[in-house]
Amino acid sequence: MATQSFWTRGLRRAAAVGVGALAGAVASLAAQQHAMRSLHARLDQLEGAARSHQHADLASQQHQHWELLSKAIDDPELAEVLDLYEAPVSAKQRRQYLFANALYTNLLFYYRIGNLSKEEFFKHVRGIFQNPIVREYWYATQQQRASLADTDEAELGKLVDDLLQQLEDSDTEEWWVVGEPPSAQQNS
């Protein structure tokens, strides 16, 4: 009986040690999960701050771009500095091209900060490229865009090139139905 009692006490002690170890492991796991949730929350905060900072940088850059274009539009001598077109253009055409650049860049900026989806960008571009001056600008700056590779701007430029080709090949006057928006292309 003494042996049985000793054996039972040993089992109880072993069980108590096992339960204690298990409780410690559960507490440790709970603490790790709490720490992981805290790290994820902090990471989310930092990513949000980075996006916000990136948007602020893009807004600042967009403002600077507009300021420079405005000066060039207002001053023909400054506009000559931006004359990088394939063929010679008049002062009037140069001013129009600078404004067309501002329109397109504005859409590009809105897309980059997430205010426009790619489908919405496509629809807006389809509208502004109904203007023959904007089309002339696009073709006159083709070589400049050729140097943009593997960027979102290059991808959107290709989207515009494809759209313009479809518009030129189209035999309909209903320009607003020409071309498939990017989301429709991806779902096909």
74-104 per-position pLDDT tens digit: 888 888 887 788 788 898 999 999 999 999 9
Q: What is the mean pLDDT of residues 164-187?
A: 73
Summarize pLDDT for 151-164 with one digit per residue, the tens.
888 899 999 999 88
Q: What is the mean pLDDT of residues 18-41?
A: 81
**Residue in the structure block whose two tokens are 């590779």:** 149
DSSP letter (8 states) at residue 82: G
Fill in the amino acid letter for 157: G
Answering whether pTM is above 0.85, one says no
For the chain, give me the number of helices (H) and strands (E)? 8, 0
Q: For residue 8, is pLDDT > 90?
A: no
Fill in the amino acid letter for 60: S
Give me the half-sphere count of Cα atoms (radius 13 Å) on the Cβ side of residue 158: 10
